[in-house]
Amino acid sequence: MTQIAYRIGPIAAASALFVSAPALAQTLSYDLTAEVGQVCGVYNAEGQTIEVDFGALANTPADQFIGRAAGDVTYRCNVRAGFTRTVSSQNGGYLTLGGNTTGDPARRIQFTMQHWGADGFNYQQLTTPRVSTHRDTATNQRYLRGEDARVWFRAYGVRAPAAGGAPAGTRVFAGEYRDTVTITIMAN
């Protein structure tokens, strides 16, 4: 029996050392990071250039217009400071003969643009660029998730009334008239 006690004694003493010794703590930390790239722009499902054709304007009186829907656009911006939108016409709100800038009324046709939604504007001629700043609020993140808008254009007729027995004519020269309207988005 003494022999058994002799053997148990050293085992108990060794166990007591492990229980009474302070535990050594070691920590491991993970520093997590991620990067989210900037997405700030105006988008249309049909592409970056949308064709708007008013057709033949020679039979439309000058006090009337031909309207065309130009589809939907979506504004999306994940920059907290928002963005600046510039809507501009290459030829100051005129379709011009050959697309060349001119002040000659016989070589240009007035048009207007309407931008509905996303802080839009009613029909107006783009004689100068329209510049506006847009930003989400803490309670309304419409640009973060994407804000839709709709665009329309009106081109005014060019038919001149008949005079002195002559048939009706036009107020502008024959040819193809063009302009480019651009919506530019710049993150603030």
59 in a structural domain: yes
Query: Does 163 or 82 have the greater pLDDT score?
Result: 82
28 in a structural domain: no
Token readout for 64 is 């009337």
What's at 99, amino acid-wise?
A: G
Its pTM stands at: 0.80
81 in a structural domain: yes
Q: Which residue shows structure tokens 């005014």? A: 156
In 3D, which of 109, 128, 132 has the Cα closest to residue 120? Answer: 132
123 in a structural domain: yes
20 in a structural domain: no
Number of domains the chain is built from: 1
Domain that holds residue 86: 40-187
In 3D, which of 88, 83, 80 has the Cα closest to residue 115? Answer: 88
154 in a structural domain: yes
Give 1-24 pLDDT, tens digit per residue.
555 555 556 555 555 555 566 678
Beta bridge partners of 96: 108, 178
131 in a structural domain: yes
CATH classification at residue 131:
2.60.40
121 in a structural domain: yes
Give 91-124 pLDDT, tens digit per residue.
999 999 999 999 999 999 999 999 998 688 999 9
